[in-house]
Structure 1
């Protein structure tokens, strides 16, 4: 079944750039009113100014429960309802866990996992009223572990499990819950990770098709189509669906192959960047006053 987005109210976190920004534009083009949430006020204002429908923005940290509860109340007051919530806000870091920056590692878990849960907690009351749809953006990283990405993989595995649990809890009350999976997609986050030579080379050595960077537009089109269907699983790249059938074998395979790759790159690992990657990561660090 396909639901019309005309007149629907959609909330998108991490809406200042990347997936969130383009998703807001495509939802608006289909008639949805959009509420953006993020950490970059000037960009959020700029994005909402380009949307075709009634829209607004809120500056808030998705890990702050009180702030997000206030956002949910204000969005409900502003638009009268909420039909769709996309928990998209996310950050990433890379490098060996043993040498990782504890604050950056923890922040990835906080934003991606805790932030998704805080977003759901804040907006579930209004979604229950509208019998709406909650989409948690996960990743290929939820399906397959990857060395040098321990925080990101842990956070995305966590949000996948959280969304599956939530679906069972609220489904009988009319709220549908979905998980969105993306591989490497052309965003500031991925481009930021590629600025590190070791991380870029490691990714290039992954087997096809996981070693490609995919264009943002078609990926977001697939997400929009999933929202229109209120799908339980949304795959931004066609081949990700097939990964579900082999995911049980992947930890053993990656454990063996990854060990060889780590040995190959061992002399260069000390130079891998330890902070959050990309412009979104820089914005998060700037908001928290972290020196880079």
Structure 2
């Protein structure tokens, strides 16, 4: 993946795929002074197009695969505008059928990342999600979104376990590495036996909009005359379900005072249990995603991460007991 490269002014930026897509949306848009590559893989990418927005502001162009683009489009078009909280301005969507990709065009949230080590950031994120979760519940009820409830994460558990079982036959694994994979498989077995208990924790809260991948790289903060504002990015893992996955890393002392105004029948104990369940869900998803990298060949990096995931799952399981 390349990161933060710039196309110089003298290059024909109007021929860049992001600019071609933007001109389908805005036929009279000006020429970008430069194009900064923020992320790039084989078929997906994120670019910053400077000077093409209102007042010569920058526009973010996100090239997505159709399988996830529709989710983000739904969130930006049908849900976020209905919520009483700040979100990125959404400029539009372009379907490039020839290249089999889609483009989303968004306000540039800036370069200041959210930091979980900054108390003001943590409080801001918690309050943002509290408003989003409570206000989005009636909205998403009638909108097509992927399921992000317990069954989604049970599928992650089962996929992860099957992948790790297959990985046990990799001849280059050391004894310690085999032990780590076997320990995670045992954790999956234990959690599957207790899955009804995890699902019951989720049933205590109404289904709502779930981001599903809240972490520092997917949030930006901006300071202005009205104070500090947070913007959530990358909604491709979003869907409808209990808010457990989003609660995993939030400051619940800042979340609860907002959420309790809408969830009158819910106590702080239920929110704390749901946050622990969210940690389990998130770590199972991480094992599932990382496990796919172990096959068909051994790679050291996923194995190192598996040790960390095992420890985090163990801590969350202990918390829930």
**TM-score normalized by the length of structure 2:** 0.25
Larger radius of gyration: 2
Greater strand share, structure number? 2
Greater helix share, structure number? 1
**TM-score normalized by the length of structure 1:** 0.27
